[in-house]
Homo-oligomer: A and B are copies of this chain.
Amino acid sequence: MIKDIEVKKKLSSRWFEYLQSEICKQFELLEKKVSKKSKVFKKRIWHKKNKEEGGGISYILENGNIFDKVGVNKSTVSGKFQKKFRSKIMGAEKNGQYWASGISVVAHMKNPKMPAVHFNTRFIVTSKSWFGGGIDVTQSFKDKKERKELNKKLFRICKINNKNYQNYRKWCDKYFFLPHRNEIRGIGGLFFDYERDNWENNFNFVRNVGIGFLDITKKIILKKINVKWNTKDKEKQFLKRGRYVEFNLLYDRGTKFGLNSGGNVEAIFMSLPPNAKWK
Q: Which residues of A are in contact with B by a Cβ distance under 8 Å?
A: 62, 180-181, 238, 242, 245-246, 249-250, 259, 265, 268-269, 272-279
Contact = CB atoms under 8 A, between A and B. Distances in A.
A244 B11 CA distance: 41
Given A249-B250, A273-B278, A276-B276, 19 more contacts: A62-B279, A180-B259, A180-B268, A181-B265, A242-B272, A245-B245, A245-B249, A245-B276, A246-B249, A250-B250, A269-B278, A272-B278, A274-B277, A274-B278, A274-B279, A275-B275, A275-B276, A275-B277, A275-B278
A181 B249 CA distance: 14
24 contacts: A62-B279, A180-B259, A180-B265, A180-B268, A238-B275, A242-B272, A245-B245, A245-B249, A245-B276, A246-B249, A246-B269, A249-B250, A250-B250, A269-B278, A272-B278, A273-B278, A274-B277, A274-B278, A274-B279, A275-B275, A275-B276, A275-B277, A275-B278, A276-B276
A234 to B, nearest CB: 12
Contacts of A238: 275
A249 B238 CA distance: 18
A152 to B, nearest CB: 33
Contacts of A274: 277-279
Nearest to A183: B265
